[in-house]
Structure 1
Amino acid sequence: MRICVVSPFTGLAGDMLLAALVDAGAPADRIRAAVASSGLTGWDLRVESLLTHGLTAARALVAVTDDATSRSAAELIAMAGRVEPAPVAERAVAALRAIAEAEGRLHGEPPERVHLHELGGHDTLVDVIGVCAALHALDVSTVYCGALPLGTGTVRTAHGVLPCPAPATAALLAGARTVGSDLDGETVTPTAAALLKAVSARFEPPPEFRLLATGYGAGTRPLPDRPNVAVVYLGEPGDAGARTLVVLETNLDDVTGEVLGHVVGELLSAGALDAWISPVTMKKGRPAHVLHVLAEPEHAARLGDLVLAETGSLGLREYPVRRTALARETETVDVLGMPVRRKRGPHGAKPEHDDVVAAARELGLPARVVATIAAGR
């Protein structure tokens, strides 16, 4: 299994990511075959090479021969569900469902009734299925992504002029790492944001890996002072995903349970890889807790300051640890008509608890029954 590292130099769009993956070696014929298996007609995908600011990059162009410019989210999801092979369909459906849910929340409609305008044409379906097919063809199991630059100004949509990033994009980027940009207009599209969400992209430094290929995908907007490209790096992880991280610890005997729970949530929101609490007995027989934080070395100081500020502790321990993280991917399975995400690793699969609970409520079944079905046991 391989990893893919996305560097959104000037931003990210679905066609930029697709072009970059083709430039890195994804076979265009397999991508076209996957899109065709959805039943979409009246389109053609061409990937051409261009020179921009001294850099050769690939650009994905979709030629359309019919006049269907918008479709409902339900129609797009149904088409994506017919895609072969099945892993490509699962990721494509997850991306489109994410768009439908984001648009539905914004417009106060159920996701299945959302009608997509700019996102309902051929381009969206080709980009979504194409990227998922490219990742599958390249045997990519894990995607890492750098901080996404967010443009300023406005974007024109079917609903009028909206601020950048567009509301749907902002909703889809919840939890992602972002950074300000000096570029005007839309730098990250809803399609790109939904794809990153569907593949469970990690917004953290990648582990050590052997670089196999690099791909450059160009956007459609020319920039006066730099190439408008996204870069992907394809690699094989080394040392079975082992890497050096940092553990922060502090002993607490005067902090309430409410505060402890709050601090754990704040740490995870601030970028901690994990945070947990252990009960201990301190001097004079005092019951207490140890707060542990697992962090990237470059985030340790910031997270340590957060711990001290939130708990009032007067000290903090820090030491390096070696963590081995096995390759894993998130897929969506159907449980009696309800979608349930599950995380699959080399030794099995585990359903996402929140999805299991939601499905169990809808189906009127015990959560353990839904979990068993979703796990495939």
Structure 2
Amino acid sequence: MVLAGLIDLGANFQRIKEKLLSASKFVPNVEQLEINCKKVVKNGINATQISFSFEETLKHRHGKDVLSIMKKITTHFNWNDYKKALALNILNTLIRAEAIIHGTSEELVHLHEAGSIDTIFDIVGFILACQDLQLLENCTWISTPVAVGGGLLNFSHGIVSNPAPATLEILKTKEFEIVGGPVESELTTPTGASILVNLIKNNIKFYPPLIIQSIGYGAGTKDFSKIPNVLRLIQGKEPTLSPYNFEKIITIETNVDDITGELLGNTVHKIMETGFAKDVSVIPMTSKKRPGYLIQILTNYEHLMPIIQLLINELGTLGVRFFPTMRYTLNRKIVSLPIQVLNKNYNIPVKISWDSNTTIIQTKPESDEIMQLSKKTGVSMRKLLQIINKEIESKFQIGQKLNNSVDF
């Protein structure tokens, strides 16, 4: 359904079909392969449906065999490192889940449905379609909570309840929110789940700010009375509201009123040492009984739990709040600025900040380096700042465009 949705979004089916057929020679024991695309209507929704028909003489493949096939296909297409890694990561996610469920190694696990050519081509076709639409590099994928369906599922080892064990194992790796129902059928397959967890960092309940550019509907083979059996893909761009970078992050907060300054300083140091925090603030406040501190951390969603664990372990806090935060930021980079002091050459790191129009907004030399240079040369920090700022103004004037000769 993902591949069908991408074709409905505008990917060239004929081009993708030709490439898939050219790669079929790497999948042994498969004959009479046909790939078809047609428009269908599912409960009033016009959608695209993709189907694979083939004769396959093998009942299963081992994990190592399927990986070998995928490596040959990625080499055949001469994919760059990113596309190769994505294809292999999706497949490895699937194999790893199956191995865990069956209690065996990833190399020797027997893959029945997961080892079939249509699974391999679902992954390869997905990457080919994304490549056709330029939706891989420089693209952010977002998902709402994953609909997994319900009822019972008939598969190679018998009957189990939906979702399939491998699907649950895969979704567990990213702590995605899932939603059961509203039909008694499988709505998310292990292959679809593997693609999903390798594309997105987390799922969200509501759409983010978005300017819609195109919509694609990929249809499944089943028909449901209550809902259209389609996967909806929406392609869009973030609204350009300002010349600054829009960023969606997480704010983490906790209140403490029973720790020493040494413990607090050590905690802040450990948080910064993880490399997960974008910013840490310690704000004096008054609690119900006595003065204390509000500790506030800005970070990305994927670093939420490690930071919460650190706060609880180090501070013994009884609760931690977190909530989504949106902010605008400037582009920034530290450049090495050559200066001359007492007829000797030195390099001082200077932070340059600019907006999306490449207009310089701020320049700031690193104070720690200036202090060290002051000690080394015996020249006052005030005098050094005059020398440095004069040099900065000659190269990076606020309000002017960045010089293309500078490597940013």
TM-based fold match above 0.5: yes
Letter in 1 for 2:327: R
Letter in 2 for 1:138: L
| Residues 66 and 178 (structure 1), Cα distance of their counterparts in 2 relative to 1, 3 Å cut | closer
Q: Counterpart of 2:197?
A: 197
Tell me how far apart the structure 1 counterparts of residues 124 and 113 of structure 2 sit (CA, whole Å): 17
Contact 1:144–1:202, Cα closer than 8 Å, also in 2: yes
| Residues 52 and 200 (structure 1), Cα distance of their counterparts in 2 relative to 1, 3 Å cut | closer
Tell me how far apart the structure 2 counterparts of residues 66 and 317 of structure 1 sit (CA, whole Å): 51
Deviation at 1:116, TM superposition (A): 0.3
Tell me how far apart the structure 2 counterparts of residues 216 and 153 of structure 1 sit (CA, whole Å): 24
Q: 2:222 is paired with a residue of what secondary structure?
A: coil
| Residues 282 and 198 (structure 1), Cα distance of their counterparts in 2 relative to 1, 3 Å cut | closer
Deviation at 1:195, TM superposition (A): 0.8
Deviation at 1:127, TM superposition (A): 0.8
Q: Counterpart of 1:232?
A: 233
Deviation digits for residues 28-80 of structure 1 (CA, Å, limit 9, x no counterpart)? 23323443336235322111111222221111110114433532222222222
Q: 2:142 is paired with a residue of what secondary structure?
A: strand
Which residue of the other structure, out of 136, 153, 156, is the alignment partner of 1:155? 153
Contact 2:101–2:166, Cα closer than 8 Å, also in 1: yes
Which residue of the other structure, out of 249, 253, 257, is the alignment partner of 2:257? 253
Tell me how far apart the structure 2 counterparts of residues 280 and 60 of structure 1 sit (CA, whole Å): 57
Deviation at 1:123, TM superposition (A): 1.3
In angstroms, what is the RMSD of aligned CA positions? 3.9
| Residues 58 and 325 (structure 1), Cα distance of their counterparts in 2 relative to 1, 3 Å cut | farther
Q: Tell which structure's C-alpha radius of gyration is larger.
A: 2
Letter in 2 for 1:254: D
Q: Counterpart of 1:45?
A: 35
Contact 2:255–2:317, Cα closer than 8 Å, also in 1: no
Contact 2:8–2:217, Cα closer than 8 Å, also in 1: yes
Question: More deviation in 57-66 or 200-209?
Answer: 200-209
Q: Counterpart of 2:114?
A: 119
Q: Counterpart of 1:70?
A: 60
Tell me how far apart the structure 2 counterparts of residues 74 and 102 of structure 1 sit (CA, whole Å): 14
Contact 1:18–1:130, Cα closer than 8 Å, also in 2: yes
1:59 matches 2:60: no
Tell me how far apart the structure 2 counterparts of residues 110 and 292 of structure 1 sit (CA, whole Å): 40
| Residues 246 and 317 (structure 1), Cα distance of their counterparts in 2 relative to 1, 3 Å cut | closer
Q: Counterpart of 1:333?
A: none
Contact 2:47–2:218, Cα closer than 8 Å, also in 1: yes
Q: Structure 2 stretches of 5 or more lacking a match?
A: 302-307, 332-408
TM-score normalised by L of structure 2: 0.60
Deviation digits for residues 74-126 of structure 1 (CA, Å, limit 9, x no counterpart)? 22222222222424432221111111111111222111111101211121111
Q: Counterpart of 1:292?
A: 297
Letter in 2 for 1:185: S
Letter in 2 for 1:105: I
Which residue of the other structure, out of 25, 29, 43, is the alignment partner of 2:14? 29
Contact 2:183–2:224, Cα closer than 8 Å, also in 1: no
Q: Counterpart of 1:353?
A: none
| Residues 201 and 247 (structure 1), Cα distance of their counterparts in 2 relative to 1, 3 Å cut | closer
Deviation at 1:201, TM superposition (A): 5.0
The percentage of counterpart residues that share the same residue type is: 26
Question: Any residues of structure 2 matched to 1:131-210 within 5 Å, and which?
Answer: 131-140=126-135, 141-174=139-172, 175-200=175-200, 202-204=202-204, 207-210=208-211
TM-score normalised by L of structure 1: 0.65
Contact 1:207–1:242, Cα closer than 8 Å, also in 2: no
Q: 1:184 is paired with a residue of what secondary structure?
A: coil
Letter in 1 for 2:85: E
Q: 1:142 is paired with a residue of what secondary structure?
A: coil
Equivalent residues, number: 287
Tell me how far apart the structure 2 counterparts of residues 58 and 319 of structure 1 sit (CA, whole Å): 35
Deviation digits for residues 306-362 of structure 1 (CA, Å, limit 9, x no counterpart)? x9xx9457x989996514699xxxxxxxxxxxxxxxxxxxxxxxxxxxxxxxxxxxx
| Residues 51 and 290 (structure 1), Cα distance of their counterparts in 2 relative to 1, 3 Å cut | same
Q: Counterpart of 1:218?
A: 219
Tell me how far apart the structure 2 counterparts of residues 318 and 194 of structure 1 sit (CA, whole Å): 27
Tell me how far apart the structure 2 counterparts of residues 85 and 168 of structure 1 sit (CA, whole Å): 30
Letter in 2 for 1:292: I
Q: Counterpart of 1:17?
A: 2
Deviation at 1:190, TM superposition (A): 0.3
Deviation at 1:153, TM superposition (A): 2.2
Question: Any residues of structure 2 matched to 1:83-98 within 5 Å, and which?
Answer: 83=74, 84-86=77-79, 87-98=82-93
| Residues 325 and 21 (structure 1), Cα distance of their counterparts in 2 relative to 1, 3 Å cut | farther
Q: 1:234 is paired with a residue of what secondary structure?
A: strand
Contact 1:59–1:218, Cα closer than 8 Å, also in 2: yes
Q: 2:37 is paired with a residue of what secondary structure?
A: strand
Contact 1:145–1:201, Cα closer than 8 Å, also in 2: no
Which residue of the other structure, out of 246, 260, 267, is the alignment partner of 1:242? 246
Question: More deviation in 196-205 or 160-169?
Answer: 196-205
Question: More deviation in 63-72 or 238-247?
Answer: 238-247
Letter in 1 for 2:3: L
Deviation at 1:172, TM superposition (A): 0.4
Contact 2:94–2:190, Cα closer than 8 Å, also in 1: yes
